[in-house]
Structure 1
Amino acid sequence: MKKILFKSGLVALTAISVISCKKGSENVEISKPLLIVGQSISDTILPKLDGSGNAIPLKGTMLAGKTYHIKADVTINQGDTLYIQPGVTVLIEGDGQSAKTSPTIYVNGSLVSDGSKTAQNWFTVMETSTVKKSNPTYKDDAANDPAFKGYWGGFQCGPNASLLLLRWSHVEYTGSTWGENAKDYGAKSGDAKFTIFMNSTGAQKGSLIVEDSWFYGSKDDGIRPNNIYMSIMRNTFSKMGGTGGEATNIKDGVYGDMAYNLTYGIATNGLKTSGDIGKPMVVNIYNNTVVNCGFRQTKATRNGSINTETNAGGFIYNNIIVNCKAGLRISYASEKGKPSDTLNTMYNNNLTAIGRGNAMGGAEQYMVFIEPNQFTQKQSYDLNGYVNGPVASNGTNAGTNTANDSLKYDPMFVNYDMAAMSLERNYRVNQIPAGADFHLKSNSPAIGAGVFATGTGKNAYPKKASAPSLTQYGFPMKVVAQGGTFGANMSAPNKDLGAFPTDNSGNQHTY
């Protein structure tokens, strides 16, 4: 037995190999070894209780092929690790009616869900006669769609949590309410829990690594961290936030990268970064595809695709935004936010396309390429229908959106009709259509329009010598551990825009 040293202690690594030979052949096939951290968890009804009826903290390894039932809150203690082999299903027995009847996974140590492309892991609610799951018929019905019921509490990380890593994992139906322990997590009793909350207040920042995973259905924000290092790569987010909320809402003290994610039908923004007064943060946002976002949030100043606010900086490149309430916003002001960190922000080579330039009816806002009177301007290699106006003394830009440029910047996805999906109320659909394909057709303007490591001219990597944070952290950052079971598998910026480049190196999901 080989021993490896991990952050949370000494753990055992057991390799289980399967060898098969064909008669008359010299070929030998060896399966990928399965890792065991600590003791195997054979009990499938969790949590186990001690003699006094108290829940026993969870640690060790959930085993491939098993289905585990979570019937009440489970906790991973500081210094302990819960490792989940590929091909595990975790059914949470929650109803969304109260904190006590809607279990939460509390991570004070480390949790690693190590799914694979061929053996994915699942964290979902157990369906019953009264707890119903969503289905494709719920396209725009936040009041009744079970996706927004908040059946369980997601992953709530304590101040000294070391690592939360989700790989090839499905996370569904989160957002149950907080109870008596709300203040320990910066919330109030009755607030909806975020799908993932992580806020390091200890001596070391924790790490959040989320890659190749699916997030479906939440009452509020999906990923909501503070004071950590992170890598969020190649994921799919849909039906996040009932009447408000983002797929990712990244807060002060966070450094890292968000890339190759598809966000579809999100209440407010697909991707948002926001620091605080005196508390900066820098996150690179590149090669994402953001579709049909912003229309369940009725407040006018919350934007609707990619949004940066108070003291937030980073490189923002190679993104595609389609049929959203508004394109990229580098904020000067909003209902909650104050100015972004424009010194430590660079952006260009982004495509924003809207189905039409007219009002969408009723109280709905226009779809716009860029919201005027913010810091955002159309950059030299952007593809959108915004015309820059005069720059005010405070740095804001009073430009105009060209209605006749509706449809002009269609990225030409393989199977998503931008024009058809803007008609009537199709732009509000939050269910990814079956068979949708966000790869690029051969004549797409997004092909070859991105910055990449060896690019020159319009494709050259951005640099800003006057920006200390951008210079210090780089593009991409790679601030979390790289490679292996406990590290990130990062994807660098691509010559094509969006999450699904033509070399198939980005997001691997099909719909």
Structure 2
Amino acid sequence: MAKVDGNGVVTAVKPGSATITVTTENGNEKATCAVTVVQNDAKSVSGAVEGVWSKYSVVNVTGQISIPAGKTLTIEEGVEVIVNTAGQDPNNTKIEMIVNGNLYVQGTPTSPVLISVSAAERTAANTFKRLWGGIIGSGTCSEIILDNAIVEYTGAVTTATSPSVVAGLFKAGGGEGMVAFNTNNPQGKYVVKNSVFRNTGEDAIYVQGGSCIFINNTFYAVGEAGGEAINVKAGCKVDAAYNLMYSPNTNGFKLSNSGADGGARFQAQINAYNNTIINAGWRRDPNKPKGGSIWGEAGCLINVYNNLIVNSMFRAKAPGWGVNGTTGPDLNSKMNNNFYASGPQQSTVPQHITNGTITAYDGFKAGVSDAVYSANDIAGTAVNDKNPNFENYPFATDPLLNFTYNTSWDFHLKAGSPALTGGKTDFTPYFSTTGISVNGKTYKSPVPAAYIGAFGTK
């Protein structure tokens, strides 16, 4: 792909082919020229990394990498970061990216940054194979921006020699898997927007510190035997909005104040609003049912509004809701104006049958343990009731345990959808006014919408 300026100078834009046509001023003569732009030569990296990975380049990560404290790595649009999946030592330790400094991933809608494995390994069989570790912000990591990034095939099980374990950021082994994106600095600033997290063995986003904005992201095939799309702990202040979460293993959101360390880390504070959560919770170990859409616990302060929860195992749940601010969320927390709808699909998992949760409606109706029922919720009174009328999604036929995402689906709402009204708009997200400054740019949280879910009409 190329462009031509007024002087006829041809400039490469991005890899691809183009035909340039030149016409004389009188229009009588034309000439054409075929131009092919190729990717920059691939380079290999390991150890300490910093600087700029230039547009449309291929970067092969051949060993453990880290961004040193006080240093910055910028990854520009169209870059493909290919992580080697071989074990790095006798423990079969997988590669991780440890961010002790700053990381700025700056893709575009048409040229996102891909952080993945080799093309040959991007298969359905490898969906939950945990081929590499993930992006881990340490206690010295000040800033991270992921804008138009695709992060996939993460979740490697840690070993005693995993860099994150050696640094005291994760536990070793015992089934402990890495997450796709993690933070550990309560003073840090982190923005993740317009990005895709998929095919990960554990949580997609798991934050243990920092001011965070998570907006307009897509999550699918998240978690093998457990795992959330977004998991928030103590030391975090978060606005999460307009995200699509398809088939997270356990929850779209897990929100808690665990990790407070006796007050060493400030109380977790989260606004989760205008998100769409589909097919959540069904792939969780059925002998350990927990969550199923949104799960609040352990003293966090949460505001959960305007979320569209469809075909998920349970409605929003919180032990001790409104009664016990230690085992459950802070008593000042709010959950309201959320929408629940269930198709007629049934699970055939024996434990689901025993638990009485063979349809999503079974987990939405009155009497469910730890479920939160609020005056302004919109909830179907039977299967197929309150169909949100998506533009293109098989509401009544998509299998409950499915995790294969169809990119042709469209979760915008058709005219007349019951989810187009009922959203709560009279609250202010934490960062909608002041924003968060990362890499010299201020990012602001979007205001809440009057519709429910991540998408209104087209």
Q: 1:187 — aligned with what?
A: 171
> Paired residue for 2:254, among 258, 272, 276?
272
Query: Which string of whole-angstrom CA distances, capped at 9 and with x for unpartnered residues, describes residues 312-340 of structure 1?
Result: 2221111100001101112329xxx9622
Query: Which string of whole-angstrom CA distances, capped at 9 and with x for unpartnered residues, describes residues 363-421 of structure 1?
Result: 12413116846564432221114xxxxxxxxxxxxxxxx5xx22112111111121122
> Paired residue for 2:451, among 496, 502, 511?
496
Q: 1:205 — aligned with what?
A: 187
Scaled by the length of structure 1, the TM-score of the pair is 0.73
> Paired residue for 2:413, among 440, 443, 449?
440
Quote how far apart the aligned CAs of 1:210 are.
0.5
Counterpart AA for 1:84: I
Q: 2:61 — aligned with what?
A: 70
Q: Does 1:246 align with 2:211?
A: no
Counterpart AA for 2:298: T
Gap change, CA 1:495 and 1:157, over 3 Å in 2: same
Q: 1:379 — aligned with what?
A: 374
Q: 1:409 — aligned with what?
A: 386
Gap change, CA 1:338 and 1:370, over 3 Å in 2: farther
Gap change, CA 1:486 and 1:173, over 3 Å in 2: farther
Aligned length: 406
Q: Does 1:164 align with 2:144?
A: yes
Q: 2:196 — aligned with what?
A: 214
Q: Is the 8 A contact 2:302 2:330 kept in 1?
A: no
Quote how far apart the aligned CAs of 1:101 are.
5.5
In the aligned structure 2, how far is the partner of 1:299 from the partner of 1:246?
Answer: 18
How do 1:40-439 and structure 2 match up within 5 A?
Answer: 44-47=42-45, 55=47, 57-95=48-86, 102-128=94-120, 132-135=121-124, 145-179=125-159, 180=161, 181=163, 182=165, 184-189=168-173, 191-200=176-185, 205-276=187-258, 280-297=267-284, 298-332=286-320, 339-356=327-344, 360-364=348-352, 365=355, 366=357, 367=360, 368-369=363-364, 372=367, 376-385=371-380, 405-421=382-398, 426-439=399-412
Q: Is the 8 A contact 1:329 1:370 kept in 2?
A: no
In the aligned structure 2, how far is the partner of 1:501 from the partner of 1:476?
Answer: 23
Relative to its length, the structure with more strand (as a share) is: 2
The DSSP-based 3-state class of the residue aligned with 1:47 is strand
In the aligned structure 2, how far is the partner of 1:217 from the partner of 1:302?
Answer: 21
Gap change, CA 1:370 and 1:71, over 3 Å in 2: farther
Q: 1:10 — aligned with what?
A: none
In the aligned structure 2, how far is the partner of 1:340 from the partner of 1:379?
Answer: 16
Q: Is the 8 A contact 1:209 1:487 kept in 2?
A: no
Counterpart AA for 1:315: N
The DSSP-based 3-state class of the residue aligned with 2:302 is strand
Gap change, CA 1:359 and 1:433, over 3 Å in 2: closer
In the aligned structure 2, how far is the partner of 1:20 from the partner of 1:296?
Answer: 54
Identity across matched positions, percent: 28
Quote how far apart the aligned CAs of 1:303 are.
1.3
Counterpart AA for 1:448: T
Q: Is the 8 A contact 2:276 2:454 kept in 1?
A: yes
Quote how far apart the aligned CAs of 1:300 are.
4.0
Query: Which string of whole-angstrom CA distances, capped at 9 and with x for unpartnered residues, describes residues 186-211 of structure 1?
Result: 312352111112111xxx61122110
Counterpart AA for 2:376: Y
Gap change, CA 1:65 and 1:350, over 3 Å in 2: same
Counterpart AA for 1:408: D
Q: Is the 8 A contact 2:435 2:444 kept in 1?
A: no
In the aligned structure 1, how far is the partner of 2:237 from the partner of 2:113?
Answer: 27
Q: 1:13 — aligned with what?
A: none
Counterpart AA for 1:263: M
Give the RMSD, CA atoms, in angstroms. Answer: 2.9
Q: Is the 8 A contact 1:305 1:327 kept in 2?
A: yes
Scaled by the length of structure 2, the TM-score of the pair is 0.81
Quote how far apart the aligned CAs of 1:480 are.
5.2
Q: Is the 8 A contact 2:335 2:372 kept in 1?
A: no
In the aligned structure 2, how far is the partner of 1:358 from the partner of 1:177?
Answer: 33
Query: Which string of whole-angstrom CA distances, capped at 9 and with x for unpartnered residues, describes residues 127-175 of structure 1?
Result: 44xxx3234xxxxxxxxx3111011111112111011211000001001
Gap change, CA 1:154 and 1:370, over 3 Å in 2: farther
Gap change, CA 1:177 and 1:406, over 3 Å in 2: same
Quote how far apart the aligned CAs of 1:489 are.
4.8
In the aligned structure 2, how far is the partner of 1:418 from the partner of 1:448?
Answer: 20
In the aligned structure 2, how far is the partner of 1:288 from the partner of 1:185?
Answer: 29
In the aligned structure 2, how far is the partner of 1:214 from the partner of 1:66?
Answer: 20
In the aligned structure 2, how far is the partner of 1:281 from the partner of 1:196?
Answer: 18
Quote how far apart the aligned CAs of 1:110 are.
0.4
Gap change, CA 1:134 and 1:96, over 3 Å in 2: farther
Segments of 5+ residues of structure 1 without an aligned counterpart are 1-17, 24-28, 32-41, 49-54, 136-144, 386-401, 453-460, 463-473, 505-511
In the aligned structure 2, how far is the partner of 1:83 from the partner of 1:303?
Answer: 37
The DSSP-based 3-state class of the residue aligned with 1:314 is strand
Gap change, CA 1:483 and 1:108, over 3 Å in 2: closer
In the aligned structure 2, how far is the partner of 1:115 from the partner of 1:289?
Answer: 24
In the aligned structure 1, how far is the partner of 2:151 from the partner of 2:107?
Answer: 12
The DSSP-based 3-state class of the residue aligned with 2:400 is helix
In the aligned structure 2, how far is the partner of 1:159 from the partner of 1:484?
Answer: 18
Segments of 5+ residues of structure 2 without an aligned counterpart are 14-39
Q: 2:5 — aligned with what?
A: 20
In the aligned structure 2, how far is the partner of 1:215 from the partner of 1:371?
Answer: 33
Q: Return 286-295 or 273-282, whichever deviates more.
A: 273-282
Query: Which string of whole-angstrom CA distances, capped at 9 and with x for unpartnered residues, describes residues 2-56 of structure 1?
Result: xxxxxxxxxxxxxxxx883499xxxxx9x9xxxxxxxxxx9843325xxxxxx3x
In the aligned structure 2, how far is the partner of 1:375 from the partner of 1:327?
Answer: 10
In the aligned structure 2, how far is the partner of 1:286 from the partner of 1:66?
Answer: 36
Q: Return 483-492 or 437-446, whichever deviates more.
A: 483-492
Quote how far apart the aligned CAs of 1:230 are.
0.5
The DSSP-based 3-state class of the residue aligned with 2:374 is coil
Q: 1:477 — aligned with what?
A: 431
Q: Is the 8 A contact 2:107 2:149 kept in 1?
A: yes
In the aligned structure 2, how far is the partner of 1:359 from the partner of 1:170?
Answer: 31
Gap change, CA 1:299 and 1:234, over 3 Å in 2: farther
In the aligned structure 2, how far is the partner of 1:186 from the partner of 1:219?
Answer: 15
